[in-house]
A and B are shown apart, each in its own frame.
Chain A
């Protein structure tokens, strides 16, 4: 009886090993379609796009020197960086506070609040940018309200400013930040905060020395999401910034689709890719300094 059982167990063990081998094959097989798609549709086009920028008659880096010498182009780059960094900064603060409050809530309310925070993501970027057009416009809600109360005599021009672009972008990206941070903050054990408190840490040192470092990985992921999103955004600066507030995204579109300067557009694209990668690297280094556990 006993022998029979061990034999059966042995037989059950053997195919398990084979299954594992198959798994290895299957793993390759299953990741192949996605890998091929990414290489064909993303890696090759990006490489080709960037390659064209080095093929100019005036020298391989001529388009880049031209870009960095042009005051107008540098102003666009500077403005884009500024808007993206300010947006990221505001989104970090607003998102962190909101996420912190949500993370403390009891289960049911928490789910409702998360759904509420994420709800705007269900509509398109263009629709959400349009909403701000209605709010901030000459005949918009704010101007009408202020005029009817009599606080201002004539409508304020809030649209087509850097402020209007930033406001709309913060609104666009805060849900991403909240979503990222709620998960991270929920993952911080209550015991750690209690341990810090029992050791004499007041609320602010507890926040700075325990909560913030432990939330760092989430803050970085959120910041990267918001920065890359706002740095490369097109619809929002197009709708709310107009010609005066041209950013890299809108500038690239203009180069490619209005002046048909494909090499110029590719150069802009290459610079955007490099800056994005650079910022991501800087941010992850900052995270590691705050929390050596962070990736």
Chain B
């Protein structure tokens, strides 16, 4: 029973402020797509619209061949996992998990059997008779997961499910969520503000800002080829250097940054380069060398990262963060040259 989720031109308002602007996204059957963005970007609003807790001002939400747009929330058949677990405090673990089955009119023996089987899968069967108050955070989140999965929903939605857990548990749980989701082949929408979490758990990630999706791609593409300066900054490109092409010769362009720094960039390596562009480089994407071609820099504070030394560098084009090799530590105040490595950099359109 795997179906796809299609959201078409969805807009939503809180009062007079538009929080979602003509958002379209489709999640293929069995796929896990994350909505990633900082708070207020509209990711939770999207989830609440799909769940039916909010009404859109326009647009359509379809799940398989069912149109959910005007369906009441209780009839949407969506498994939801909440940030703060939202377990019923007055019901035992077993009754929490069986709650959805009870609403579906299953006989008590059937729902107990199915709820117990589900608890078995998340490893909580021995705690079936406990009240949620007697569980740890991780256990609570497992119960919430079991409760959402046991109704065998065609769509699972997660609203920052791991943000109340500690770092180690967070990693364990996201592996567990991914395994359960894969095993069931349930189409899933996952909301988070944690980039690492989104990238590690998702088939595709939608990066959102101000009620819009900026880019929807696989984690690999997002990480290596962000489509805009905003996304680049979001996925950890520390350095965004605005540049202008001053000369073109065959495949190589000569571009100038603020302060007159010139670089020769090969279009074979960097891809087509427009007259105005931004050179986006990760700290790893700028080689720190004593001499050679590149951006002349005066090195500032050196930090040891374990795999490299990181330098805060002063250049004519502004402050730049770059990583240098462990084999050649340079002192603060040293003169160096920063050379962009094509595989770790990308060319972006300038920002508006």
**Interface residues in B55-102 (C-beta closer than 8 Å to A):** 73-80, 82, 84, 86-90, 99-100, 102
- Are A199 and B99 in contact, with the CB atoms below 8 A? yes
Contact residues in A for B89 (Cβ distance below 8 Å): 192, 214, 293
Answer whether residue B131 sits at the interface, using C-beta atoms and an 8 A cutoff.
yes
Contact residues in A for B77 (Cβ distance below 8 Å): 200
**Interface residues in A172-226 (C-beta closer than 8 Å to B):** 189, 191-192, 194-203, 205-206, 209-210, 213-214
**Interface residues in A275-294 (C-beta closer than 8 Å to B):** 290-294
Residue of A nearest to B98 (CB): A199
Contact residues in A for B84 (Cβ distance below 8 Å): 189, 191
Contact residues in A for B102 (Cβ distance below 8 Å): 209
- Are A198 and B79 in contact, with the CB atoms below 8 A? yes
Min distance, Cβ B5 to any Cβ of chain A, angstroms: 15
Contact residues in A for B74 (Cβ distance below 8 Å): 197-198, 200-203, 206
Contact residues in A for B88 (Cβ distance below 8 Å): 192, 195-196, 210
Residue of A nearest to B89 (CB): A293
Given the complex of chains A and B, what is the CA–CA distance between A292 and B90 in angstroms? 6
- Are A195 and B103 in contact, with the CB atoms below 8 A? no
Min distance, Cβ B169 to any Cβ of chain A, angstroms: 21
Answer whether residue B147 sits at the interface, using C-beta atoms and an 8 A cutoff.
yes
Partner of A194, one of B53, B99, B131: B53
Chain A interface mostly helix, strand, loop or mixed? helix
Given the complex of chains A and B, what is the CA–CA distance between A290 and B91 in angstroms? 10
Residue of B nearest to A206 (CB): B74
Contact residues in A for B326 (Cβ distance below 8 Å): none
- Are B131 and A197 in contact, with the CB atoms below 8 A? no
- Are A198 and B103 in contact, with the CB atoms below 8 A? no
Given the complex of chains A and B, what is the CA–CA distance between A95 and B74 in angstroms? 27
Given the complex of chains A and B, what is the CA–CA distance between A214 and B90 in angstroms? 7
- Are A205 and B86 in contact, with the CB atoms below 8 A? no
**Interface residues in B108-150 (C-beta closer than 8 Å to A):** 131, 133, 147-148
Min distance, Cβ B54 to any Cβ of chain A, angstroms: 11
Answer whether residue B151 sits at the interface, using C-beta atoms and an 8 A cutoff.
yes
A194 in contact with B86 given A200-B74, A201-B99, A202-B74 (CB within 8 Å): yes
Residue of B nearest to A205 (CB): B103
Contact residues in A for B104 (Cβ distance below 8 Å): 200
Given the complex of chains A and B, what is the CA–CA distance between A267 and B77 in angstroms? 61
- Are A291 and B90 in contact, with the CB atoms below 8 A? yes
Contact residues in B for A201 (Cβ distance below 8 Å): 74, 99, 103
Partner of B90, one of A199, A202, A213: A213
- Are A191 and B82 in contact, with the CB atoms below 8 A? yes
Answer whether residue B51 sits at the interface, using C-beta atoms and an 8 A cutoff.
yes
- Are B133 and A293 in contact, with the CB atoms below 8 A? yes
- Are A293 and B100 in contact, with the CB atoms below 8 A? no
Min distance, Cβ A200 to any Cβ of chain B, angstroms: 4
A200 in contact with B86 given A195-B80, A293-B131 (CB within 8 Å): no
Given the complex of chains A and B, what is the CA–CA distance between A294 and B89 in angstroms? 10
Min distance, Cβ A190 to any Cβ of chain B, angstroms: 9
A199 in contact with B86 given A194-B53, A205-B103 (CB within 8 Å): no
- Are A199 and B151 in contact, with the CB atoms below 8 A? yes
A197 in contact with B73 given A191-B84, A292-B131, A293-B133 (CB within 8 Å): yes
Contact residues in A for B78 (Cβ distance below 8 Å): 198
User: Most chain-B Cβ atoms within 10 A of its Cβ — which of A194, A202, A206, A294?
Assistant: A194
Given the complex of chains A and B, what is the CA–CA distance between A213 and B96 in angstroms? 14
Given the complex of chains A and B, what is the CA–CA distance between A200 and B100 in angstroms? 6
- Are B100 and A194 in contact, with the CB atoms below 8 A? no
Contact residues in A for B99 (Cβ distance below 8 Å): 196, 199, 201, 209
A-B contacts, 10 listed (Cβ < 8 Å):
A194-B73, A195-B86, A195-B87, A195-B147, A196-B88, A197-B52, A200-B103, A201-B74, A209-B99, A292-B131
| Interface set of B (CB-CB < 8 Å, partner A) | 51-53, 73-80, 82, 84, 86-90, 99-100, 102-104, 131, 133, 147-148, 151
| Interface set of A (CB-CB < 8 Å, partner B) | 189, 191-192, 194-203, 205-206, 209-210, 213-214, 290-294
Other A-B contacts than A197-B53, A199-B100, A214-B89, 11 sampled, CB-CB below 8 A, are A191-B82, A192-B89, A195-B82, A195-B86, A200-B74, A200-B77, A201-B74, A203-B74, A209-B102, A292-B131, A294-B90
In the A-B complex, the 7 residue pairs with the closest CB atoms: A199-B100, A200-B103, A191-B86, A195-B86, A198-B80, A291-B90, A197-B73
